[in-house]
Amino acid sequence: MATRTTLEFLKTEAGAGLLLALAAALAIVWANSPFAAQYFALIHHPVTIQIGDFHQTMSVLQWIKNGLMAIFFFVVGLEIKQEVLRGELSNPRRLALPILAALGGVLVPAGVYLAFNAGSDGAPGGWPIPTATDIAFALSALAVAAPRLPPSLRIFLLTLAIVDDLVAVGLIGALFSQDFDLRMLVGATAALAVLAAMSRWKRAPFLFYAAALALLWAFTLKSGINPSVAGVAGALTIPIDPRRPSDPSVLQQFMERLHPYVAFLILPLFAFAAAGFPLSDLSGDALSGPIPVGIAAGLALGKPVGVFGAAALAIGLKLARRPSDARWLELFGVSILCGVGFTMSLFIGGLAFGDAAAQSAVRLGVVGGSLISTAAGVAVLAWAQRRRKGED
């Protein structure tokens, strides 16, 4: 099996972004159609799974969030390990800029959200929502708006989004895990130890990995820790060396086999289940409420200010170098696209708030802020590409 280059990976992500947009649009249209009751009945329909002593009942939406999205975070963990050990994050000079830009893209949006939610009617607990970046959606917008801009900008956006996802997983594990069960935590730790030991067995059957990962997920789910943490932790145990000299690495094989399912099935399913909300429930007061306004402003304003500001400061202080052959206007356009939070922001929003009214406000803020960021980023990048073409 041939391994993919980073740019081939980007093309897959970009194509998946278009499917994400269609899935979200379908959900919003269905949720506001005469058949809205069927949509909400579908995503909230309880499903029970029992295998031996394992018994769990959750709604369809919860199974997607806690089950299928754990596979998404597993692939994110594989991408992080690949980039840190063999890819863009392995070069300290290239690593500094996306890390510093990602930190700015977390702190400033959180501050913007808190500024709108500081009053008595605010909800400060939702501050992590606008800190996320949707890799597939942002890369899709970049590919559509400016396909001929330097590849270094795509690498910068991908690397920044990976760092962003790592921060998001840390926030999820620290803020949205509760009611710990010590016995289940011990079981999860034991499963993780088995996976770590298997990494020394180069020719371990993939079925063994699947069984150990399933146990890690099940113990983590029952322990009270969000399963997304299990996905990333399990990925970090997967060997980066090949089983045989002529083969791609075990990690690369996992990425090759799982990534299409994540990009073209799991993420669109999550977007379909999480994005739908009834517009009729949003009064004028709700539209201008602190939650949707804080999220939208955090994504559309806080993200570009934080990312571009931190990047410009790092470059100005000689702590990092600008992406190869990239211009300031192009870097600013990419920074705007970092405000496309979408699936990651919806995921965090689903953990931060439980009541239906707050969930509708979260969806409105995430969808609105992401659309503004997409439109503004596409406009700036298209303008930058026309300027570059005219000068050339």
* Cβ atoms < 10 Å from Cβ of 270: 25
CA distance 91 to 152: 14
Residue 146 is predicted with a pLDDT of: 78
Residue 281 is predicted with a pLDDT of: 61
Residue 1 is predicted with a pLDDT of: 39
Residue 373 is predicted with a pLDDT of: 96
Question: Which candidate, 269, 235, 346, places its Cα nearest to that of 64?
Answer: 269
pTM: 0.80
What tens-digit pLDDT sequence spans the chain (392 residues)?
Answer: 344 444 454 445 556 777 888 898 999 999 999 999 999 999 999 999 888 878 889 999 999 989 998 998 898 888 878 877 877 667 776 788 989 999 999 999 999 999 999 888 889 999 999 998 987 788 778 877 877 888 888 878 888 887 887 788 788 878 877 778 889 999 999 999 999 999 888 788 889 999 999 999 999 999 888 888 899 899 999 998 888 787 888 898 998 899 888 888 898 999 899 888 787 766 666 677 899 999 999 999 999 999 999 999 999 998 888 888 889 999 999 999 999 998 889 989 988 888 878 888 898 999 999 999 999 999 999 999 998 887 76
Residue 9 is predicted with a pLDDT of: 46
Residue 250 is predicted with a pLDDT of: 87
CA distance 350 to 343: 10
Residue 209 is predicted with a pLDDT of: 92
What are residue 244's phi and psi, to 5 degrees? -130, 155
Residue 73 is predicted with a pLDDT of: 87
Residue 6 is predicted with a pLDDT of: 45
Residue 35 is predicted with a pLDDT of: 93
